[in-house]
Amino acid sequence: MPKVIGIISAKLAAEARIPNKVLLPLAGKSMLAHHIERMKAAPVDEISVATSRWPGNDIVEKIAKQEGVKCYAGSENDVISRHIAICEKEKADACIRIPCDSPLFEYDVIAELIRSFRQSSSSWYSYVYVNNVSFEYSTMPELVSLNALKKAHEYYQGPAVTLPIWEHWEDFVCCGVPVHKEYNRPEYRLAVDTPMDYVAMSHIYAALYQGKPISLDDVYRWLDANPHIGKLCCGSEHSAINKRFLEAQKNAQSGINS
């Protein structure tokens, strides 16, 4: 059976809009620890944290070790190369990947992504994604095969792992998986990219976290009942790379639906 591992991209970044956010506390645990906890709730074969070789990221490796998962340090900016190296080291056929700015990513859907990959003929899908919730809401993980990572790396050596897949859609065999329509809540963006995002996420975790992963259903119900916090999750200004990603996704989806 094809081996599928979970990879969480996490490194310290003093130049970001919210510096070193992977270490920020949410209900007494770091954001990275919460990402690991949520990935542990999914049926992946192993979990690794992908960080960079910069010495300051030793704390990332320490947290990974404390949480009982592996950590790999690779290129500072070429994030795809980190994923390739981890998959090759762990002899994995594919990975579920999530960046460490999505502390409410939907872990239940991972089982369906893996099932779709494993049931395909010789696991021929390059990329399995959720096709009815936009990535800009930062709640949905992705599955990428090792072969797709290697192909994507020919096009791009930057921080956005699946950007080249969307920009060169015709070169990959992709599978869209729908999720419950209740998860499609475009009024809420649940990433932590700015100080205001962190304020909102801190309120959510303070209200709902009880020592185990918070369900998205509970998050949306709570935000609906607390609109003063919900309005903080309306979305911040996208970075240049995120704008490029969303434009590529829009163009690819337009081609799919035409």
| pLDDT tens-place string over residues 34-65 | 999 999 999 999 999 999 999 999 999 999 99
pLDDT over 80 at 16, yes or no: no
Q: What is the mean pLDDT of residues 122-151?
A: 87
Of 27-41, 100-114, 121-135, 188-202, the poorest mean pLDDT is in 121-135
pLDDT over 60 at 27, yes or no: yes
pLDDT at residue 182, rounded to an integer: 87
Q: Which two tokens stand for residue 55?
A: 């010495």
The full set of domains in the chain, from first to last, is: 4-257 (3.90.550.10)
Has this prediction a pTM greater than 0.85?
A: yes
> How far does CA 231 lie from the centroid of its chain?
23
pLDDT at residue 122, rounded to an integer: 58
Q: Each residue of 241-258: pLDDT tens digit?
A: 778 888 888 888 776 655
Structure letter (DSSP) for residue 221: H
